[in-house]
Amino acid sequence: MPNQTSPQASPPRALLWAVAGSVIVMIAAGGLFYYSSQRAAAKRQTHPGEVVVTIHPHSCEPNALTVPAGRASFRIVNRSDRAVEWEILDGVLVLEERENIAPGLSQVINANLLPGDYAITCGLLSNPRGTLHVTPTAASEAAAQAKPSMVAFIGPLSEFRVYLSSQSTALIKAVNALEQAIAAGDLSQAQALYAPARAAYQRIAPAAQRLAELDNAINARADYFEKREQDPAFAGFHRIEYALFQQRTLDALAPVAQRLTQDVTTLKQQLLAQSLPPEQLVSIVVRNLNSLAEVRASSGEEERYSHTDLNGFAANLDATRKVVDLLRPLLSKSAAGVLQKVDSAITALDADLNGFKLKDGYASYDTVSAEQRKQIADKARTLANALDGIDPALGLSGLSAEDSNR
Amino acid sequence: MNDSENFNLQRRRVLMGMGAAGVALAGATLSCPAMAASPAQVTEAPSSDKTEDRHAFHGRHQTGIVTPRPASGMLVSFDVLASDRQDLERLFRTLNERIAFLMKGGPVTQVDPKLPPVDSGILGPVVTPDNLTITVSVGESLFDERFGLAAVKPKRLIRMVGFPNDALEADCCHGDLSLQFCANTTDTNIHALRDIVKNLPDLLLVRWKQEGSVPPQAPAKPGVPAQSARNFLGFRDGSANPNSNDAKVMDRIVWVQPGSDEPAWAANGSYQAVRIIRNFVERWDRTPLQEQESILGRVKSSGAPMGGAHETEVPDYAKDPQGKLTRLDAHIRLANPRTAASQANLILRRPFNYSNGVNKNGQLDMGLLFICYQADLQKGFITVQTRLNGEPLEEYLKPVGGGYFFTLPGVTGDQDFIGRSLLDAAAAKTTA
Amino acid sequence: MKKSPLALLLTLGLLNTPLSAFAATAPMDLVGPVSDYKIYVTEQLDELASHTRQFTEAVKKGDLATAQKLYAPTRVYYESIEPIAELFSDLDASIDSRVDDHEKGVKAEDFTGFHRIEYSLFSEKSTQGLGELADGLDKDVKDLQTRVAGLTFPPEKVVGGAAALLEEVAATKISGEEDRYSHTDLYDFQGNIDGAKKIVDLFRPQIEKQDAAFIAKVDKNFVSVNKVLAKYITTDGGFETYDKVKDNDRKALVGPVNTLAEDLSTLRGKLGLN
């Protein structure tokens, strides 16, 4: 065709830019409107005080709670006749817990909660669980958007996972050795192998204790069972401990040991399968040290038959040190003051425990006086408090708002 | 359109050289002006109006150091075959004569056609200077027992010692004498090399040579600083070079000064460090741009320091003590940390890009012919390279050759010749 | 072709977005693969340590035949994790440097490690005087284990390691220059490839999320490379010497290797890592 086709007439560039610009402005305006209406709603909400939960022998009341996201306080009143622990569970993982709430007394648990649905325990392991519904707020939504760089934590979290892997392998080996001594009928060998196996466990206890069911099977003490030491469900380490150090017999222990081996093997798989967000990395050791400070140091109930508590405490401190060392580069850059406090608290607790070292292992806990136990508890508490400073200093809680594993 | 109008349209198209194919082109917008009426022939010599550019051979300093670098360079290292100092003098005098001629240009001496011609003829019967400079430097090995020069060796001249990342190949390292040829075109350099080789068959043996080039650009607009040429990593190379037009700066950084602790004859000379640095270009081209820039410490497109807009901007490391903007191990930051102390380690870089062949793995053998000048080899190149040891850029580099040389002082006039002050100083020492 | 204003707008919108179109992988999703990789590297180093001990024992005993036999299978454990080993450049140099890295060649005092021992075993055909070198190699491997244990693996180094391994192959294994005395390069070649594939496999779910077609292409090229290498597996599960590799097979390797190098060089970017 002889006539030239007219070149495609495109709209003037300026017009295209203007349309694009106005669309962007509209979207931005919409977002702004949403955000400000949410903030207004949040302001209207009343600041929650404590949420009271009463634990009865076979239930808790209320057993359905609703709180807004963010910091919440729960007052747990123990109206049953035995010491109880209270936990907030996220699926199989423990988010917060308080052990050993004495009968007739109450304890306050503070938690920083993200939106979602959780379960709460109600005393005895056999009691039905309650529910906890956490509603989103403008602040939790904003935090989810904030997105500071999580990339810096990939390293420490990966290293911790590697640590869990190799320590779990060591635990499996130690429990295996214990099982074999039991199967061989060698009581004194089994007794000798008990403490090393417990130490291996205690080195990963902060992480293991997130896995409620499994940890109960491995680590539960007699008090959590209705029939205590006689309860058929009483198993795991402490059932073995009871047999080795109180009853001094290996009768009927083989299946318990076999089950324990299976359980620690499962523990390794589950520890590796669980994702651990940054704030949990610190909060699990804080929780572990708090239970040491509040309960385990003074009571000596953790290893009530073998009195090898110090062995466990030292291993808990190893785990704490691991976490601190993994975060050390970040801490020395962004929270040097907190790091200093943490380091000196570690040194103090370490020195205290070392004072009880013998040629082989640690002094038997029944020889440790109440005053000495208080010293240990105090130092553990100081360390836990120092560690508490890490989350706000590094902004860990804000990080995984997007990445929480629900 | 009627027939006659059609015919006129056709005729116009033919006149415009479009012919029948012009129909399809008719609707398109012509994006470039039509070519000149007489297109060049296939083998016509490319034309240049710069062949008569020349530099004065005489001067306090040799040329080719602070001289603006042209597009072609070549560094040739020689073994000196002279047997005694007399021969050595003959070598220097001949070199002097040849260099003076080549840099000036002029008609080639014609000889009887039954004889081999005295000139290769590459540049034709009249040699054109084409911006040629030839810079003469001497290696540490020249000061061995052969010529009795040991007593007057420049204080800091040593045989190059490999750095941790080096993979030095013996046959492209060191040498008694180096000649640096620079000109607008490679052929001018080659012509000059062949001339010198032909004139000194008994006195010089080529040990190794490396040619190189730099990509030309359109001339800088007035008022806009000229930009450094790019290397084969695609980055501008030579940003932050000291100002070669500032005589005071050059006296401080490049030229050995009279009255320094160097032998008196060495005044107005300089130390020359040559490094043949292979670049792993395939691997570099597979590296994310962000990473390339953070390794070098500059923005690739402009040559500006990180966060800057222009190549000439100076990075402010005091404001960036943790290396968040420019990494602490970025190439430019290690090479020149810009502290008060590191001011003593400045060097004048004058490199070329080289492209040789392909290696047995099918990867390209190309990289940087690095050449730098400084008054103190130890405080200059050796200190700077030591700072660079272990830098992330090393993943992409492999120094395979080069050497350290001392660039002789300039030839001051017709009574002087290249190397005269060295020979006189040695003679004075021997008679003393 | 006329475009609707909306289409034009969208085109313009796409043109205006920054070119980093890859959403960063959620950092928590990287923790699993990065730690799994460290566990893999630790296991490989354990194997390297025990195989090296056997190798150096044979060398020190003067058992030339056994030492020659153990040389290449031992190195595989090093080659598979080379990017991590290279993070410790002094150890990499003392364990794995080649003769060209040293100006004085075989005589260089700092030429130690596998290839220096290889020179004696395969070129000089002797185990004489290798005692110190053998002990040194054992010590260096143990040292490497300790340093790796203490190293927090940066995720970009882990992911980038796949590309680094392919660069190794492209730059040194195609020509058969790595093991120039023993010609056992194919072992090293396979080690590099296996190491790269391990990384790809660990991050497969994350990569697939970003670009499923990409992972299919990468898989295909790994298959091509492994197919050619498999042609040279001997009856005892080792490899033929490199001089046996036919020219057309060498060429058949180069294409997929270079393509893998190109493709894997985009891995970090695709996962939103630096």
Q: In the numeric block, which tokens belong to residue A356?
A: 């009880």
Q: How far is CA B420 from the centre of its chain?
A: 25
Cβ of C34 and A275 within 8 Å?
Answer: no
Q: Best residue in B283, B289, B329, B397 to probe C by mutation, most C CBs within 10 Å? A: B283
CA dist., res. A169 & res. A268, Å (int): 7
Respond yes or no on whether ipTM tops 0.90. no
Give residue A147's pLDDT band: very low, low, confident or very high (50, 70, 90): very low
- Residue B63 reports pLDDT greater than 80: yes
Query: What is the structure's pLDDT at A48?
Result: 53
Residue with tokens 């490497």: C144
The DSSP code sequence of B305-354 is BTT-SSTTPPP-GGG-TT-SSS-TT-HHHHH----TGGGGG--EE--EEE
Average pLDDT over residues B172-189: 97
User: What is the rounded average pLDDT for all residues in chain A?
Assistant: 85
Residue-level length of chain A = 406
For residue A308, give Cα distances in angstroms to A121, A195, B274: 29, 7, 70
Which range, of A18-22, A233-237, A283-287, B167-171, averages the lowest pLDDT?
A: A18-22
B27: closest chain A residue by CA: A4
Average pLDDT over residues A328-357: 92
Contact B203, B289 (CB under 8 A): no
Query: What is the structure's pLDDT at A45?
Result: 36
Å between A382 CA and nearest CA of chain C: 28
Residue A145 touches chain B, beta carbons under 8 Å: no
Q: In the numeric block, which tokens belong to residue A267?
A: 């523990």
Residue C10 touches chain A, beta carbons under 8 Å: no
What percent of chain A has a predicted confidence (pLDDT) above 70? 83
CA dist., res. A327 & res. A181, Å (int): 39
**Subunits touching C (CB < 8 Å, at least 3 pairs)?**
A, B
Residue A93 — left, alpha, or beta (φ > 0 → left; ψ -120 to 50 → alpha)? beta
Average pLDDT over residues B255-259: 97
Cβ of A158 and C28 within 8 Å?
Answer: no
Contact B407, B272 (CB under 8 A): yes
Please give the interface size between A and C, counted as residue pairs whose CB atoms are below 8 Å apart. 73
Q: Best residue in C20, C88, C89, C156 to probe B by mutation, most B CBs within 10 Å? A: C89
For residue B406, give Cα distances in angstroms to B67, B122, B143, B429: 18, 31, 11, 19
- How many CB atoms neighbour CB A67 within 10 A? 17
Query: Which one-letter amino acid corresponds to residue C147?
Result: R
- Residue C52 reports pLDDT greater than 50: yes
DSSP-derived 3-state class of residue A114:
coil
Measure the CA dihedral B238/B241/B246/B247, to 10°: -100
C271: closest chain A residue by CA: A151
DSSP-derived 3-state class of residue A59:
strand
Query: What is the structure's pLDDT at A15?
Result: 64
A6: closest chain B residue by CA: B27
Give C262's contacts in chain B (Cβ within 8 Å): 286
**Subunits touching B (CB < 8 Å, at least 3 pairs)?**
A, C
- Residue B329 reports pLDDT greater than 50: yes
What percent of chain A has a predicted confidence (pLDDT) above 90? 55
A3: closest chain B residue by CA: B27
Cβ of A16 and C12 within 8 Å?
Answer: yes
**Subunits touching A (CB < 8 Å, at least 3 pairs)?**
B, C
Give A20's contacts in chain C (Cβ within 8 Å): 9, 12-13, 16
Average pLDDT over residues A60-67: 89
Query: What is the structure's pLDDT at B138?
Result: 98
Contact C95, C78 (CB under 8 A): yes
Å between A180 CA and nearest CA of chain C: 26
Query: What is the structure's pLDDT at A111?
Result: 83
Give B6's contacts in chain A (Cβ within 8 Å): 2
Single out the residue of B368, B321, B316, B360 nearest to residue B338, CA to CA.
Answer: B316
- How many CB atoms neighbour CB B395 within 10 A? 17
Give C14's contacts in chain A (Cβ within 8 Å): none
Nearest Cβ partner of C171 from B288, B291, B361? Answer: B361
Cβ of B29 and A7 within 8 Å?
Answer: yes
C41-62 burial code (b ≥16 CB/10 A, e <16) = bbebbeebbebbbebbebbbee
Query: What is the structure's pLDDT at C12?
Result: 43
B167: closest chain C residue by CA: C101
User: What is the rounded average pLDDT for all residues in chain B?
Assistant: 90
- C23 versus A300: which is more confidently predicted? A300
- Residue B338 reports pLDDT greater than 70: yes
Query: What is the structure's pLDDT at C13?
Result: 43
Query: What is the structure's pLDDT at A34?
Result: 53
Give C31's contacts in chain A (Cβ within 8 Å): 154, 157-158, 161, 275-276
Contact B332, B326 (CB under 8 A): yes
Give the pLDDT confidence of C63-100 residue by residue, as tens digits: 999 999 999 999 999 999 999 998 888 899 999 999 98
Give A161's contacts in chain C (Cβ within 8 Å): 31-32, 35
* Torsion angles phi and psi, residue C62, rounded to 5: 85, 15
Contact C117, C99 (CB under 8 A): no
Residue B114 touches chain C, beta carbons under 8 Å: no
Cβ of A5 and B27 within 8 Å?
Answer: yes
Q: What is the pTM of this model?
A: 0.72
- Residue B208 reports pLDDT greater than 70: yes
Cβ of C152 and A275 within 8 Å?
Answer: no
Which range, of A274-278, A301-305, A378-382, C115-119, averages the lowest pLDDT?
A: A274-278
- Residue B21 reports pLDDT greater than 50: no
Q: In the numeric block, which tokens belong to residue B220?
A: 């800088």
Beta bridge pairs of residue B427: none
B293: closest chain C residue by CA: C274
Residue with tokens 């570690």: A346
Nearest Cβ partner of C175 from B282, B283, B360? Answer: B360
Cβ of B27 and A2 within 8 Å?
Answer: no
Cβ of B288 and C265 within 8 Å?
Answer: yes
Which range, of A39-48, B86-95, B130-139, averages the lowest pLDDT?
A: A39-48
- Residue B117 reports pLDDT greater than 60: yes
Query: What is the structure's pLDDT at C22?
Result: 63
- Residue A33 reports pLDDT greater than 80: no
Residue C269 touches chain B, beta carbons under 8 Å: yes
Average pLDDT over residues B323-343: 95
B137-150 burial code (b ≥16 CB/10 A, e <16) = bbbbbbbeebbbbe
Residue C254 touches chain B, beta carbons under 8 Å: yes
Average pLDDT over residues B250-268: 97
A333: closest chain B residue by CA: B322
Beta bridge pairs of residue A107: A76
Query: What is the structure's pLDDT at A400?
Result: 55
Q: How far is CA A79 from the centre of its chain?
A: 26
CA dist., res. C196 & res. C81, Å (int): 9
Å between C259 CA and nearest CA of chain B: 11
DSSP-derived 3-state class of residue A106:
strand
Nearest Cβ partner of C30 from A23, A154, A326? Answer: A154
CA dist., res. B417 & res. B45, Å (int): 36
For residue B74, give Cα distances in angstroms to B46, B137, B179, B390, B408: 21, 14, 8, 29, 18
Query: What is the structure's pLDDT at A16?
Result: 63
Give the pLDDT confidence of A352-391 residue by residue, as tens digits: 999 999 998 999 999 999 999 999 999 999 999 999 999 8
Which range, of A76-80, A87-91, B286-290, averages the lowest pLDDT?
A: A87-91
Single out the residue of B430, B108, B412, B60 nearest to residue B251, CA to CA.
Answer: B60
Give the pLDDT confidence of C212-236 residue by residue, as tens digits: 999 999 999 999 999 999 999 999 9
Residue C7 touches chain B, beta carbons under 8 Å: no
Give residue C16's pLDDT band: very low, low, confident or very high (50, 70, 90): very low
Beta bridge pairs of residue A65: A132
Give the pLDDT confidence of A162-209 residue by residue, as tens digits: 999 999 999 999 999 999 999 999 999 999 999 999 999 999 999 999
Classify residue B13 by burial, with Cβ atoms within 10 Å: 0-12, 13-18, 19+.
Answer: middle
Cβ of B362 and C174 within 8 Å?
Answer: yes
Residue B301 touches chain C, beta carbons under 8 Å: no
CA dist., res. C139 & res. C150, Å (int): 17
Residue B30 touches chain A, beta carbons under 8 Å: no
Give B7's contacts in chain A (Cβ within 8 Å): none
CA dist., res. B86 & res. B79, Å (int): 17
CA dist., res. B103 & res. B183, Å (int): 10
Query: What is the structure's pLDDT at A303?
Result: 95
Nearest Cβ partner of C171 from B290, B363, B390? Answer: B363
Q: In the numeric block, which tokens belong to residue C52?
A: 């090296």
DSSP-derived 3-state class of residue B182:
strand
Residue C262 touches chain B, beta carbons under 8 Å: yes
A7: closest chain C residue by CA: C1
Cβ of B1 and A7 within 8 Å?
Answer: no
CA dist., res. B296 & res. B330, Å (int): 5
Which residues fall within 8 angstroms of residue B55, CB to CB, at 6 or more apart?
A: B63, B67, B103, B129, B131, B132, B133
Give residue A26's pLDDT band: very low, low, confident or very high (50, 70, 90): low
Query: What is the structure's pLDDT at A253?
Result: 94
CA dist., res. C51 & res. C58, Å (int): 11
Cβ of C27 and A165 within 8 Å?
Answer: no
Single out the residue of A93, A149, A169, A86 nearest to residue A404, CA to CA.
Answer: A93
